[in-house]
A and B are shown apart, each in its own frame.
Chain A
């Protein structure tokens, strides 16, 4: 990767430094991954990291998995361009963790084994439910992967100048190749350590920038807000809701839709759910969420300083010129804080923050690739295609092949999607997760009468509704920032489908069991209930 990027443009000092720092990160994490790979002996190691991580370690890893390029680059950019409306993302992303803490983490840890589908299929017929859950896991993960890779692309565009299209593509390819290597060699153990290292780096980098920004305003946040409002050209409106979502009734509904998707999506994200399997007990799963809430909450508070700092110090004009969606606000701010463009300090800080952002992206894409390939192997291949007759070795082999295939698909798609804001793309993944996965998960755990028909209905209804509404929205066509800017076949007015698709998912799960003649199995529900609440019989 280093040679490609250096060859693509004239080698300048900061670029060399970024590449060196990033190279160190890649080498260190590859070393960790190879070591983890040697300790990966069976399926429990590969899928669940041997269930040997502590609550604190897993809390860091969850934060590393969750604080994605969308959070770091996307939210900082959205705040820098739209002020308060960008902050709305942070609030939803954080509050969502309470759903995971109160309703999902502990029962899931006790009831499942390797994938989300383990819990959904616990008391149902295996093949139809695992097929549905496997498909929805892969769809959610691909949306999320796209967001991360688009973020990687825009970062490189900043480092190499605007005409770096070829370099952008090679970066996306390199990121895709690396994530596949992490997953194939290191499995869950390797991926978890990559996420822990990344979480520490990201928190350190963000904290450093936050202190530098606040220091410019004598540690008076109110002064920072005032300066951001002045520099934005929008005055106090910059600090009030409405710049991005207040334009019309439609955009207000769009925001409501986004808010719903954010708060209900987290607890349905497969790559987050599988992290609860890496700890030995439900209590450790609870502790990991508590740590994650503390770390993630602190991080989002700091992105406020980064976003408003970027608006005040760099200015929306410069940010927009660099990347229309705002994805490069944080790195530009770093350059400014170090002393500005052309200074050594600026180059160093830009290099450090860019390397942290790359590390962020790599860790998240590795987690996504692992979760989706695990679901392919454990749910679709072993249980649906081979009907449970695959050996453990065959199953893990298919997971590794799936990782390669998912990597390839994600690379191809993200080359087309490079104009979309990474935070908006992640919001779509949240909408699909909230519509297809969360209703099914909650009904499975807490509703006695829920059955196979209900599970299949709610997954497919939520999945199909949310994906179709995205396809026929301005995300895909009809606007200059769409995936296909030159055609227009959109009819759904909102960018985020959650407002419609989440109720559809919940309703379908409610109606399915009422219409089907197949009764729920009360003995299996009793088993699930006891197991989920006490841990009796848990893996």
Chain B
């Protein structure tokens, strides 16, 4: 830290204590357990689509119905899976992440100042 204006004071002990608490570990596990594998999954699914577009022209050219071929159908499926994963995460975060985070904040608020997150009625 060589900068007085942006250097924050040494992290308050409560943040380090929070970092070690079972509740926070649970929150981190829930977040990473969802975000990391799902990210890996949709990136692989997208790369599969890109690779098929490049290297499997015959497969991608198969007509499914009317003028719609595999390539277009898979492209539209990427849209569908994107919407579905976004909705899935919104539900998961609302059910699993937000309540735990709110609990941690409430406990910290008992000891210290309130945070912006609590000041906004959701």
Contact = CB atoms under 8 A, between A and B. Distances in A.
Question: Do A and B come together as binding partners?
Answer: yes
Interface of A: 51, 84, 87-88, 90-92, 94-95, 97-99, 101-103, 118, 121, 125-127, 220-223, 225-226, 229, 236, 239-242, 245-246, 252, 255-256, 259-260, 263, 280-284, 286, 289-290, 293-294, 297, 300-301, 382-383, 387-389, 446, 523-524, 526-527, 529-531, 533-539
A534 B2 contact: no
Contacts of A239: 67, 69, 71-72
Interface string B71-94: 110010011001101110110010
B122 A526 contact: no
A537 B10 CA distance: 13
Contacts of B104: 530, 534, 536
Contacts of A118: 6
Contacts of B34: 102
Contacts of A95: 42, 46, 78, 82
Contacts of B54: 241, 245-246, 252, 255-256
Interface in B63-122: 63, 65-69, 71-72, 75, 78-79, 82-83, 85-87, 89-90, 93, 97-98, 101, 104-105, 108, 115-117, 119-120, 122
A281 B69 CA distance: 43
Contacts of B122: 281, 283
B4 A388 contact: yes
A299 B49 CA distance: 21
B77 to A, nearest CB: 10
B45 to A, nearest CB: 9
Contacts of B31: 533
Interface residues of B, number: 68
Contact of B115 (A286, A290, A523, A537): A537
A242 B61 CA distance: 10
Given A301-B79, A538-B115, A293 B15 contact: no
A290 B49 contact: no
Contacts of B1: 125-126
Contacts of A539: 116
A527 B16 contact: yes
Contact of A88 (B18, B28, B53): B53
B86 A91 contact: no
Given A388-B6, A539-B116, 6 more contacts: A98-B86, A236-B63, A256-B51, A297-B82, A533-B97, A535-B115
A535 B117 CA distance: 6
A289 B54 CA distance: 30
Contact of B50 (A88, A126, A523, A527): A88
Nearest to A378: B6
Contacts of B85: 98
A182 to B, nearest CB: 27
B57 A241 contact: yes
A307 B112 CA distance: 57
Contacts of B82: 94-95, 97-98, 293, 297
A87 B15 contact: no
Contacts of B42: 95, 98
Contact of B15 (A256, A280, A383, A526): A526
A527 B15 contact: yes
B19 A530 contact: yes
Contacts of B2: 125-127, 387
A154 B95 CA distance: 49
A526 B66 contact: no
A291 B65 CA distance: 32
Contacts of A301: 79
Contacts of B28: 529, 533
Contacts of A290: 86-87, 90
B3 A387 contact: yes
